[in-house]
Amino acid sequence: MTRIDDYDYLLPPELIAQTPSPERDASRLLTIDRATGEIGHHRFRDILQFLRRGDLLVLNDTRVIPARIAAHRPTGGRVRALLVERLDPLRWLALLDSSRRLKEGERLSFGEGVEGAIVERRENGKWLVEFSEEIEGHLRRRGEAPLPPYIRRPEGATTADSERYQTVYAEKEGAIAAPTAGLHFTRELLAEATANGIEIAFITLHVGMGTFKPIACEEIEAHRMEAERFAIDDRSATAIENARRDRRRIIAVGTTSCRTLEAYARSGERS
């Protein structure tokens, strides 16, 4: 068994960037040569020098929904809501934060006449909320990007956050957190990769509540992650199988792509 404190390390808060680089691909890139152990320091736009013709890059095209939204109780008290899973057009699972205890049957106001009834408490601190109407359009108007907890925004997420907390290839809505490894790619960099003979395949994994869930147990094997939804379409599955057959490198961009590929390799299931 592996103790969680084996992974403790010091990360001074002042070294955590609170805003991204002005240019996506100008962020820093750390490399290590596995043969020699040599460590290199680069800019992300230099990544193409480490890729070669025939490589298959696998990227996650999930799109972050602005799932953090404020609500008010009938008493006027404020409730901070994070919508974590859509069950049907009107019902969502949500994390609700309030200074006073919430109750089943209570109705919350989300503005613009939109209300949500607290139906019941679910596991892992989630609540089932039933809305008076479909909420997606309302979220686009009034919701905020659910930034990671290490990014501090006392006044809430900004318009710039909403743009930079998406990959340039984000397409399928459903995530409550971005697949952050892909944030550094630009359209120009992807086009250059394709021109250099590097193949690109897209999978979809909607990052869920588990990415925000702290590890509370002492031994890491006892931690249970939340389930997430993924999908691999015909075109990407064919690209992956061809690369495996030809023994070409398959490079997962980030942990979400990696665990999707792992699930696919173990089960053969594509969703």
How far apart, in Å, are the Cα atoms of 39 and each of 29, 32, 156, 206?
11, 4, 37, 33
> Does residue 240 form part of some domain?
yes
pLDDT at 161: 86
Of the spans 74-78, 157-161, 189-193, which averages the highest pLDDT? 189-193
Q: What is the mean predicted confidence (pLDDT) over 184-189? A: 98
Final residue before a domain boundary, out of 142, 169, 200: 142
What's the whole-model pTM score? 0.89
Residues 104 and 181 in one domain: no
Q: Which of 164, 235, 178 is nearest to 211 (CA)?
A: 178
Average pLDDT for 61-68: 95
169 with 97, same domain: the answer is no
Looking at the structure, tell me whether residues 166 and 119 fall in a common domain. Answer: no
Predicted confidence (pLDDT) at residue 162 exceeds the cutoff of 90: no
Position 1 in a domain:
no
Query: Does a structural domain hold residue 33?
Result: yes
Do both 80 and 57 map to the same domain?
no
Q: Is residue 19 a part of any domain in this protein?
A: no
* Confidence (pLDDT) at 223: 83
Q: Could you tell me if 177 and 133 lie in one domain?
A: no
Poorest-confidence range of 16-25, 60-69, 161-170, 222-231? 222-231
Closest residue by Cα to residue 158 from 6, 18, 13: 18
Counting the structural domains of the chain, the total is 2
Q: What is the pLDDT of residues 124-134, one digit of tens each?
A: 889 999 999 99
Q: Assess whether 167 and 117 both reside in one domain.
A: no
Asked whether residue 8 is assigned to any structural domain, the reply reads: no
Q: Do 171 and 37 share a structural domain?
A: yes
Both 120 and 170 in a single domain? Answer: no
Residues 172 and 208 reside in one and the same domain: yes
Q: Mean of the pLDDT values across residues 253-261? A: 97
Q: Band of the pLDDT at 136, cuts 50, 70, 90? A: very high
Nearest to 18 by CA among 165, 185, 209, 143: 165
* Domain finish residue from 103, 119, 142: 142
Residue 216 lies in a domain: yes
For 50, 60, 180, 247, the CA distances from 175, given in Å and listed in that order, are 29, 11, 12, 32
pLDDT for the residue 10: 94
Give the pLDDT mean for 17-46.
95
Q: State what percent of residues in the chain have pLDDT above 70.
A: 100
pLDDT band at 45 (very low <50, low <70, confident <90, very high): very high
Distance from C-alpha of 11 to C-alpha of 3, rounded to nearest angstrom? 19
Residues 170 and 119 in one domain: no
Q: Give the whole-number percent of the chain exceeding pLDDT 90.
A: 78
**What domain range includes position 87?**
68-142
Instruction: Give the mean pLDDT of 50-71.
Output: 97
State whether 186 and 231 are in the same domain.
yes
CATH code assigned at 81: 2.40.10.240
The answer to whether position 202 is within a domain reads: yes
Q: How do residues 194-252 score in pLDDT, each as one tens digit? A: 999 999 999 999 998 877 777 888 888 888 888 889 999 999 999 999 999 999 999 99
100 and 53, same structural domain? Answer: no
Q: Is residue 21 part of a domain?
A: no
Q: What is the mean pLDDT of residues 99-103?
A: 91
36 — pLDDT class (breaks 50, 70, 90): very high
